Homo-oligomer: A and B are copies of this chain.
Amino acid sequence: MLKDVVRTRSYQNVITQNNFLFKDKIVLDVGAGTGILSLFCAKAGAKHVYAIECSQMADMAKEIVKTNGFSEVITVIKGKVEEIELPVPKVDVIISEWMGYFLLFENMLDTVLFARDKWLADDGVVLPDKASLHLTAIEDAEYKEDKIEFWNNVYGFDMSCIKKQAMMEPLVDTVDQNQIVTNCQLLKIGLNPFVYLIYVFQTMDISKMSSGDASFTVPFKLVAERNDFIHALVAYFNVSFTKCHKLMGFSTGPRSKSTHWKQTVLYLEDVVTICEGETLSGSMTVANNKKNPRDIDITLKYAINGNRCKVSRTQHYKMR
């Protein structure tokens, strides 16, 4: 993770360029890992940093903190956020790198929200404080052939039943920006850790959503920027730190420098023949799987009523 330069440099820049957020403040680092974010905060002048990490890495973090001479400022606590005790009643800043693939897959957001509700001071800051999910459509003839159509003829045998399963698995992979056929659309989901609930919809009542309820349905309209074929939709997320002196953040989209989150590719049953200016519209429904809440079920409805292609279909995916 440390070798994901986009991610780590973004956090580093946020912290070192915005000392005012950290100077003499109490900071809580949720899921501290090696302690790198805590070290940045300590160096930026934090009064004290509590670095919580439940894995064996906590022992390394302790040693790293000591080696680098920050034992007085950083306290590494090995344990689960939901179970540990903090020696202070309130913290001024909660920092965390909680995002999963597709933003939501195996993420630590609930843990961050738990920490926020329990310990964040009324005028406290959560970093990052905004995250958004985006969707675009790509041409991907070559890879769809490799990854999906492959199963039609495997060394002479028909394994198309596996193809059905492969189609249902969102693929975490790096997409070349030249593959993008349509505009990129922000799905109307917003993360706002200052209100009680996570997902801010156009049409939903924020005050009634609970933090664990990561299910939502959002419409999309993607407009083709050229004549091309569409083989897949691609989801990615952006993260922002709006409490900085000026807006900071990073994108995991195909037009930005690649991160370990890459993008999430959802292959379509149809090859959509789309003309410049035509619209592929539909909706995306995301929900935690009822049986295995760590899995994410995605339902995609898409339709085009174009000059050369008329399609309307519903597809189901499962991230696990």
Give residues in A with beta carbon < 8 Å to B.
Answer: 2-3, 8-9, 12, 34, 36, 39-40, 43, 60, 63-64, 67-68, 150, 154-162, 165
Contacts and interface: CB of A to CB of B under 8 A. Distances in A.
B64 A157 contact: yes
B157 A68 contact: yes
22 contacts: A2-B154, A2-B155, A3-B150, A8-B155, A9-B155, A12-B155, A34-B159, A34-B162, A36-B154, A36-B155, A36-B157, A39-B157, A60-B161, A60-B162, A60-B165, A63-B161, A64-B157, A64-B159, A64-B161, A64-B162, A67-B158, A67-B161
Contacts of A68: 157-158
A153 B39 CA distance: 13
Please state the number of chain copies in the assembly. 2
Nearest to A70: B157
A255 to B, nearest CB: 25
A71 to B, nearest CB: 14
Nearest to A159: B64
Contacts of A67: 158-161
B158 A64 contact: yes
